[in-house]
Amino acid sequence: MNIPSPADACPACSAPVGRENPRFPPLQRVTSDCRPWPAGGRLVVCPRCGMVHKPADEAFHAEIDAIYAGYAIYHQSGGAEQRSFDTDSGIQSARSARLIGRLGDALRLPNQGRLLDVGCGNGATLRAFSAIRPGWTSVGTELDDRHRAEVEAIPGASFAAGPLTGIDGRFDLVTLIHVLEHIVEPIDFLRTLAGVIAPGGHLLVEVPHHPDNPFELLIADHRSHFTTATLPFALATAGYEVDIVTDGWISRELSVVARPATGPAALPGVDPDRAAAVIDGSLDWLRRSLGALVALEQADRPLGMFGTAIAGTWLVASSHAAVSFFVDEDPHRVGRSHLGRPILAPAAVPPGSAVFVGLPPQAAAAVAQRLATPTVAWIAPPP
């Protein structure tokens, strides 16, 4: 008889063992900073709450240690392959401003208060918040000091490196932007966070929404893959009341606003069978997309990949297709290289090329249509 390991427990409801998806282990993966990562991971669906996750077994811990150690080295080197969307690009600023604008409207935030941004990066969220509520003070936290000076230059902001235990006082708003999916024990983490939320205060959780973006399942260091069902379930389990659940604020992302519950929180309904079916569909689509890319190879025609982030990285690294260049619209990336291939602006793609648009179906179709030219074939993945 197999005795389940505690490491296999569901991160949301602690059910002892999940349903393994047998199609996942053979797939190559990527890291959240867009490096290819070998096959061999596990992806399971909790039979009790439907939470899609990677069991936190010994192999998972060893992998995330290696991935985060690589992050540090990579950034210390001044990284040519920067996480543009998380660092200096206008794209990131626009995204943060949009998210904070939506949140400010929804919560009717007062003109004064205290904000805590956990995992603040270089301060994109704090900067966007300071612009709409200049009367607030804020604290940003990160695991290391790399972005201290940038964060402290934001009006009203201070910076704290390390765990939450060093944070003084309570906050009217706590933001957790692309953090919770990395946390090995998210319920414990959310419970700790509730202790720094002031009475009447709120928590914003922003995570990827994998049903809109199958590539997200391939990120080796994402422990949890949330949906509009499982994130509210996790928050309720951790003692929160959920006020807003939406996948409409930022495309392919999930935004949830919650506050510590004053009484026992009611658990929302869940559907593990549906969650498993979504994963099956996503993994099947990924397989078909790889096939579509390989089918574009022709001896006389240059082949390119649009997108240098998670999707483009995975498609090129795991298809072994003869892709000779990347294409990106981010000016911070054009002129650099990725996976040993040059990154071209769309206008610089050689005539006669085919370019595979490495994005989820709807976004890919829109890009292929927008960039359409008579001399280059822009190919979206299958629907």
Among 36, 18, 16, residue whose Cα is nearest residue 27 = 36
Element (H, E) at 155: none
Give me the least distance between CB of 345 and Zn ion, in Å please: 45
Q: How far apart are CA 310 and CA 32, in angstroms?
A: 7
Amino acid in the structure at residue 325: F
Strand partners, 255: 206, 246
Nearest to 175 by CA among 121, 111, 229: 121
C-beta of 49 vs 293, nearer to Zn ion: 49
Residue 212 structure tokens: 């809109």
Rounded to whole angstroms, the Cα distance separating 292 from 66 reads 32
**Pick 48 or 252: Cβ nearer Zn ion:** 48
Nearer to Zn ion, 12 or 229 (CB): 12
Q: How far is the CB of 48 from Zn ion (least distance, A)?
A: 5
Instruction: Give the nearer residue to Zn ion in terms of CB position, either 14 or 76.
Output: 14
Residue 14 identity: S
Q: Residue 10 or residue 323: which is nearer to Zn ion going by CB?
A: 10
- Asked if 221 contacts 202 with a C-beta cutoff of 8 angstroms, the reply is no
Residues 6 or more apart whose Cβ sits within 8 Å of residue 60: 7, 41, 42, 54, 223
Q: Which tokens hold the place of 129?
A: 């918040």
Task: Look at strands 171-177 and 197-208 and give their pairing.
Answer: parallel
- Residue with smaller CB distance to Zn ion, 16 or 113: 16
Helix (H, G, I), strand (E, B) or coil at 134: coil
Nearest approach in angstroms of CB 240 to Zn ion is: 17
CA distance 322 to 291: 13
**What's the angle, vertex CA 348, arms to CA 347 and CA 351, rounded to 5?**
95
**Which secondary-structure segment (H or E) carries 283?**
helix 272-294
* Interaction site with Zn ion (CB under 5 A): 10, 12-13, 15, 46, 48-49, 51
Q: Which residues contact 267 (CB under 8 A, 6 or more apart)?
A: 233, 236, 237
> Closest separation between CB of residue 199 and Zn ion, Å?
30
> Least distance in Å: CB of 274 to Zn ion?
14
Give whichever of 12 and 120 is closer to Zn ion, judged by the CB atom: 12
Place of tokens 């030219």: 373
Nearer to Zn ion, 84 or 224 (CB): 224
Rank residues 226 and 326 by Cβ distance to Zn ion and give the closer one: 226
For the bound state, the minimum distance from the C-beta of residue 59 to Zn ion, rounded and expressed in Å, comes to 21
Quote the tokens at residue 108: 């009717």
Give min distance, CB of 190 to Zn ion, in A: 15
